[in-house]
């Protein structure tokens, strides 16, 4: 990034967390990512066009990976690099991981049922999880994590820290990315382990729960993890913008917008508004505001 | 209340906090209160039919009180007692309060801008507030309070406790009702001052922030004060149902539903969903569920 006075220039920005969706929605939103970014890491909690969404939980095979990459490339053209992820499963073998490694940037862990399309996720306490993480460590495959437990909504990320700590200790060479962190607790944990990394969204650098539910209720700022307390916002901003304060974490933090579009009728609804903020097309404006 | 096995009987239940609204909405919702309750305390943050809502902030005169009472009585018939409140203003004089006293049950304090129709409210730090409270103490007029400060949404009630404590100490004979309390902090404060009383809604005995924003976002459970943490819910339930635990507060707690209907399009909206749960017609079912 170059910076001169009040202006700054981003060279080849990359979005390290995006939901391209699939089908018609993908055709609309993937080009918006490509308009702003030179590449992006696509999340795997999606069943690509041509696969059976009643049986598949997400991208769990090389065939699905290839189909999904093709769907993205077809929508965005050549000047954009989609980086692929696989949906973590405890059934993955060494042979499978060796075969799939050249085709992916990372494997994404979803706690079962914690967010949109995560019913096929795993229990972080399952001992089988660690076995796959150890294989990934050996093979040099990056782990991305949606780090929330069940329990009270404002405590879910804080309570997941124990899992990050355990995995970081047990697999010291495994590169672990704490996705879309939102709390002071996460910044503290990130600072303590050399092999922990993190993404932060632009909206979590701008809003707290006050913006979602402090005045009128705002479904378009509702996302998972939910925006937290003012002290959490300040901690995230310090980590990203005050190099002097948080030297040990700044180089481990990446931008990941977690851009997650929903149809309007699923955001403005009586029976439950879906979680997700879509912002891949306006993210640099957001950043400039911060 | 009579209780036999799994059933219980409520004799002449009274709702100590309800928003009757005005005009067409009143005609719909006031009869719902009358169908369940023998009487109810109507909130004054409303401009009755026939008055100018662009200049009036709420019910601040005897003429408005009478007009509003007539509007309610016309809608519900004779078997229901509407109890009237006045919108607290620092301009109220002893003469005015003496004159209005026979026509009201209480005066309601709204912190400026904290909730629906409270732009005409007062700053609780304004020294003029205490002068009016001292007059009310002398005259034996009850004070009802929407007890929230500005600031982070989950802390607003907690931070208002200092005002309750100051007023309870300065005016030891003033009966103060902490309206729709939602937190462990409020229960602790209630226990400490003999002249503090409280209302609790049925929904705050049932839900936490998890029900509003823990899964999908639920605009119909969004209200002010917002539902809080699980430990707050347990504290409210203990105070209401476990006589042994909270002997000193149980007799000071009343049911106040804070039933606050909005048109559907203001609850399910892109640009902000209004706060308020309407429940005057189903409140006894809620109570039985708890």
| DSSP annotation string for A105-126 | SEEEE-BTTSSTT-TT-B-TT-
Inter-residue contact A165 to A201 (CB < 8 Å): no
Spatial strand order in the sheet of B39-42: B14-18, B39-42, B81-83
Residue A256's nearest CA partner among A225, A235, A289, A211 is: A225
Whole-number pLDDT of residue A282: 61
**B281 in active site:** no
Q: Region B2-28: what's the mean pLDDT?
A: 83
pLDDT (0 to 100) of residue A272: 66
Burial class of A251 by CB neighbour count within 10 A (0 to 12, 13 to 18, 19+): exposed
Q: To the nearest whole number, what is the mean pLDDT of chain A?
A: 91
Question: Considering the entire predicted model, what is its pTM?
Answer: 0.91
Residues of chain A with Cβ-Cβ distance to B220 below 8 Å are: 270
pLDDT for B241: 87
Model confidence at B131: pLDDT above 90: yes
Percent of chain A with pLDDT over 90: 78
- B34 has a pLDDT exceeding 90: yes
- Interface residues from chain B to A (CB-CB < 8 Å): 152-154, 208-210, 212-220, 222, 226, 229-230, 264, 267-275
The CA distance from B161 to the nearest CA of chain A, in Å, is: 19
| pLDDT band, residue A37 (cuts 50/70/90) | very high
Q: Give pLDDT, residue A1.
A: 45
CB B236 within 8 Å of CB B181: yes
- What residues in B contact A267, CB-CB < 8 Å? 270
Q: pLDDT higher for B215 or A290?
A: B215
What pLDDT was estimated at residue A6? 65
Q: What is the DSSP letter of A217?
A: B
Are the C-beta atoms of B167 and B142 separated by less than 8 Å? Answer: no
Question: Which of A153, A214, A268 has the CB atom closest to B269's CB atom?
Answer: A268
Query: What's the pLDDT score for residue A261?
Result: 85
CA-nearest residue to A229 within chain B is: B152
Q: Identify the pLDDT of residue B166.
A: 98
Residues B91, B95, B99, B101: is their CA dihedral positive or negative?
Answer: positive
Task: Please indicate whether residue B279 or residue B124 has the higher confidence score (pLDDT).
Answer: B124
Q: What does the pLDDT read at residue B1?
A: 45
């Amino acid at each position: 990034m170059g910076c001169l006075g009040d202006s700054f220039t981003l060279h080849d920005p990359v979005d390290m967390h995006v939901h391209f969706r699939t089908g018609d929605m993908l055709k609309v939103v993937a080009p918006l990512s490509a308009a702003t970014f030179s590449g992006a890491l696509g999340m795997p909690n999606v069943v690509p066009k041509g696969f059976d969404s009643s049986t598949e939980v997400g991208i769990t095979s090389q065939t699905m990976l290839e189909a999904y990459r093709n769907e993205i490339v077809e929508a965005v053209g050549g000047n954009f690099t989609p980086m692929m992820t696989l949906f973590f499963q405890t059934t993955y073998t060494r042979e499978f991981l060796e075969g799939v490694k050249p085709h992916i940037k990372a494997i994404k862990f979803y706690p079962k049922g914690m967010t949109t399309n995560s019913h096929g996720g795993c229990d972080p306490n399952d001992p089988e999880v660690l076995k796959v993480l150890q294989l990934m460590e050996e093979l040099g495959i990056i782990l991305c994590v949606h780090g929330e437990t069940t329990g009270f909504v404002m405590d879910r990320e804080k309570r997941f820290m124990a899992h990050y700590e355990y995995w970081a200790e047990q697999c010291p060479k495994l590169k672990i990315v704490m996705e879309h962190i939102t709390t002071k607790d996460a910044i503290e944990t990130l600072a303590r382990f050399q092999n922990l990394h993190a993404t932060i969204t632009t909206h979590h650098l701008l809003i707290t729960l006050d913006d979602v539910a402090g005045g009128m209720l705002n479904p378009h700022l509702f996302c998972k993890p939910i925006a937290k307390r003012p002290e959490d916002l300040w901690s995230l901003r310090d980590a990203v913008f005050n190099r002097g304060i948080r030297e040990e974490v700044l180089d481990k933090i990446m931008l990941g917008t977690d851009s997650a579009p929903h149809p309007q009728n699923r955001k403005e609804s009586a029976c439950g508004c879906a979680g997700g903020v879509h912002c891949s097309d306006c993210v640099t404006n957001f950043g400039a505001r911060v």
